[in-house]
Amino acid sequence: MFVRKMTPSQSSLFGEIDDLQDLTFIERPIRRSLKTAEEIDKLTVDEDLNDIERAVYLLSSGEDVQQASVIINLPILVRQNPAETFRRVVPKVREVLHVAGADMQLAAAGSFLTVLQDDIVLIQTHTHSILQIVLLNLDHRDTVVSNAWLETLLSAIDALPKDTIRQEILSPLLSKHQLSQSVPARLASCRILGKVVGKFESSIVKKDLLPLIRSLCQDVEYEVRACMCRQLENITRGIGLDHTKVEVLPELVELAQDEASTVRLAAFDTIINLLEMFDSDDRTCVIFPLVKAFCEKCFKGDEAVLASLSYQYGKLCHGLSESFTDEQHLWFLEFYKKLCCLGLQHENGHCESQPYPLELENKYALVRRNCAYNFPAIVLYADPNHFLSELYRTFSSLCHDPEISVRRTAAGGFHEVVKLLGPNVHYIHKEIIALLQDDSLEVLDALLNNIQETLELATSRGEGAGPESKQVNIPDLVPALVAAEQKTASSLHWRVHEKLLQCYSCLPRVVSGDQIYFRFFQRMFSIITTNNVLPVQREAVRTLCVFLRCNRKQEQRQEIISKIKQELAQGRSYWNRLRYLDLCEITIDLFSKSYFCKHFLIPALELVNDPVANVRYKLCYMLPKLRSTIKATDKHLLQQLEFCVRKLLCREKDKDVVVTLRKTVLELDKMNITEPYHKRHERELLDQKKEKEETLLLEMELLERQQSEAKLAGDKQSEKKQRDSKSGLSGSKGMSGSTSGATSSSSAGKEMRRAKLARSRSLSGHPTTPKMTNPDKSLKVKDSGSCPGSGKSAMLPLNDDNLRPHHFNVASSISPTPSSSSMPVLIRSNTSSSVDHRSNGNKDTQSRKLSVQRKSNSFGMQSGRE
């Protein structure tokens, strides 16, 4: 017999079959009954017993699960019959707890806490019996159980009266602080003291409890000292300000210098929490030296305490800032800068981590992360006006830290820094771009939590900037946003991608409309049509609608709407057509009814002929919303909607679509009947507001277009005036050359240049500049040739348009200012003759001058035209 060689696929198949056969050997037989007859008999209880009797029976001879059930339901028994429960059931519970396991102990602790807090114990003897059980189990050998009973006692103290606390809790507590007691018992005493101190007057606390507190603060075990130190905050608030300086502060100073780092850390945290309880002298003379020595000692070698110090540093600086001198203020600021760079080395402006052991490196990273968390508080401490000189390099270091957790924390608090900087927010524009372009999506995700507020504040010019505040440009912002979107799209973190697209809705308030149109619109279409994640697609649809709503150019809006109809409403993929219906739902909320009906309603109704049942199903679901957008006066659209419904009723064969369609028809019939008037009125007012906004948008577009056209026409007119002024200047040069009678020779080039120079000098130094007292008055010009036989003078205004083309077209390009030296000589001579009437002997000379000047003006006019 020959064995044929198996193919790889056949071998893998047989291998899976062998594995399945192996599983049959390890399969265990299934028991038909979960309990045997004997077990069922043990669990059976007489039905004639009442609740109390049944509880006593189960606690006496029941199984563990039955006893646990009774203990859990103990509050119910107390509410129903408190007297019998405390007389018969609670003693049985106490007996069971002596030998009960941890689960039953925890259940009992919870039940007794409920009994004490629910005010269902009315007799003091009942409270005494419960507290005896609680105090007895505080010394349980299992730490978890003892802590559970301690939490029960601490929570019950708030609900217990003062006398009960004094008799039942404080009396046994005074005997448990001795060194002969165990460490857990002394730790419980510390926590109980911190809880009960607020129940009594300061005199009682000082007399009865302070000796016990001082004894525990000086305990031989560092755990007890640390625990008591953390309770000093509650004790200080209980005894008041008068006794704090004398009784508590010396203990804190001693504990802050303890040999154990845990005790020093507890003392440091307590001091920070009690800063408002100390006066200015105590802060300056006691607290500041103590904290300074603590910081220096931690920085040199106590990394564990340094992490807690860095976390509390912002609170510490603000608590002591009012008592600081300038030198002390600067010391704390410089120490913070050292903490921010702990474990780093700066080379060529970049932060690089130094080679440390992994554990130490993690501790240093935690310190820098806490510094990033406290950075907004330090900005407020150092004054935002000094940010550039004091903190910018530190902030840049945190934003470029090699550890992701540090950069993520800096990104999470970035918006707080932006708020504090105000008009100086441009200092950190580069850091915004750096965090947007960060390699880690965790950093980007933290930045996106408040990116809308961050960008709006970062692109504003501060208070009072008005509507132009959004014109401040952040360099490389748009490329950074595009790169961030592409990076999130290529990753598997689609929720970050969705969040980023949701944040894009603030872009119309941050960047210009042209940038959105050319850089983001096409990308939104690409996401809608190619992305495979439905929430991302829908968020892209919403962002596209927001961009369309805020676009101010009619041409761009029409192009976007036509592309929506072409790629979505008429798209080849039914997935795109479904997204068009999603878009319709969003546009109904964003746009007015008239705008939606004009641009989006008809393509949606045409989907009634869609070959895919899912599209028709969604259309049926949306019919009531589409109907709500049609006004009662628009009969044509109502007929089209009715035709769409009838077509579905006649032709639809899909069962799900038919069921949805029937529900929709019933809803359409009830729309105008069931809707209250006030809701319909509110909806109409909101729609009118949307229409006004859309009309205002069109008016703004028209106004901007007119302003741009007027600006363009003004630029052209100014250019034309400049050209005309140049030509008028050349004409005036020719006029001055003709009056002077100096003719240039064309044979020698040097003589020509000298003659032109001489003419320009003679023009600039022309001595016939008129002095006019009132330029608005019309000028009297005596023209004997124009009016024969008339000796009167004609009144010609200075800006008369009829005067310019007949006599001196050159003046059309010159300003009509009376003091201009290039004003035509005709006006100047007539003005002087009208003002100064001299003797008759000068009339002949004046007439000869007038004729010569008219000739020169005509010559200047011809040269200007040429």
**782-825 pLDDT, tens per residue?**
343 333 344 433 333 334 344 333 333 333 333 333 333 333 33
**pLDDT tens sequence across 584-622:** 999 999 999 999 999 999 999 999 999 999 999 999 999
Spatial separation of the C-alpha atoms in residues 300 and 579, rounded to whole Å: 62
Q: Is the pLDDT of residue 850 over 70?
A: no
The pair of structure tokens assigned to 116 is: 């004490």
Q: Residue 122: which pLDDT band, with cuts at 50, 70 and 90? A: low
Lowest mean pLDDT among 166-170, 221-225, 240-244, 309-313: 240-244
* Rounded CA separation 496/489 (Å): 9
- Measure Cα distances from 66 to 60, 414, 787 in Å: 10, 57, 134
CA-derived radius of gyration, the chain: 46
Task: Characterize 662-672 residue by residue with b for buried, 16 or more Cβ atoms within 10 angstroms of its Cβ, and e for exposed.
Answer: eebbeebeeee
781: DSSP letter: E
The DSSP code for 123 is S
Cβ contacts of 835 within 8 Å, gap of 6 or more: none
pLDDT of residue 833: 38
Burial 93-104 (b: 16+ CB within 10 A, else e): bbebbeebeeeb
Higher confidence at residue 839 or residue 527? 527
Q: What pLDDT, on the 0 to 100 scale, is given for residue 486?
A: 94
Q: Evaluate if residue 228 carries a pLDDT over 50.
A: yes
Give Cα separations from 612 to 533, 576, 626, 747 (angstroms): 20, 12, 20, 93
pLDDT digits over 458-488, tens only?
Answer: 887 544 334 444 456 788 899 999 999 999 9
Q: 377: left (phi > 0), else alpha (psi -120 to 50), else beta?
A: alpha
List the beta strands (DSSP E) in 48-126.
Answer: none
Max avg pLDDT among 23-27, 127-131, 557-561, 677-681 = 557-561
Q: What are the residues whose beta carbons fall under 8 Å from the beta carbon of 403, sequence distance 6 or more?
A: 353, 365, 368, 369
Whether 395 and 421 have beta carbons less than 8 Å apart is answered as: no
Percent of the chain with pLDDT over 90: 33
Structure-token pair, residue 299:
């920085």
Longest dimension (CA), the chain: 157
Cα–Cα separations (whole angstroms), residue 510 to 415, 426, 452, 507, 521: 15, 14, 9, 5, 16
Q: Where do the H-state alpha helices sit in 520-651?
A: 521-530, 534-550, 554-564, 574-590, 593-599, 601-605, 613-628, 635-651
The per-residue pLDDT for 319 is 86
How far is Cα 481 from Cα 476, in angstroms, rounded to an integer? 9
Q: What is the pLDDT of residue 22?
A: 54
pLDDT band at 730 (very low <50, low <70, confident <90, very high): low
Give bridge partners of residue 709 from the DSSP assignment: none
Q: Which has more confidence, 766 or 308?
A: 308
Neighbours of 336 (CB within 10 A): 24
Q: Is the pLDDT of residue 575 over 50?
A: yes
Q: Which two tokens stand for residue 614?
A: 């899912």
- pLDDT in the model for residue 18: 55
Question: Which string of b and e fits 504-539 if b means at least 16 CB within 10 Å?
Answer: bbbbbebbeeeebbeebbebbbebbbebebeebbbb
Q: What is the pLDDT of residue 330?
A: 92
Are 367 and 302 in contact by the 8 Å Cβ rule? The answer is no
pLDDT band, residue 210 (cuts 50/70/90): confident
- pLDDT of 854 above 50: no
Residue 651 scores a pLDDT above 80: yes
With a cut of 60, say whether residue 827 has pLDDT above it.
no
Retrieve residue 542's tokens. 């919403």
In degrees and rounded to multiples of 5, residue 801 shows phi and psi of -75, -20
Q: How far apart are CA 393 and CA 595, in angstroms?
A: 51
753, two tokens: 């240049």
Q: How confident is the model at residue 176 (pLDDT cuts 50, 70, 90)?
A: low
Estimate the crossing angle of helix 313-320 against helix 288-301, to 10 degrees: 160
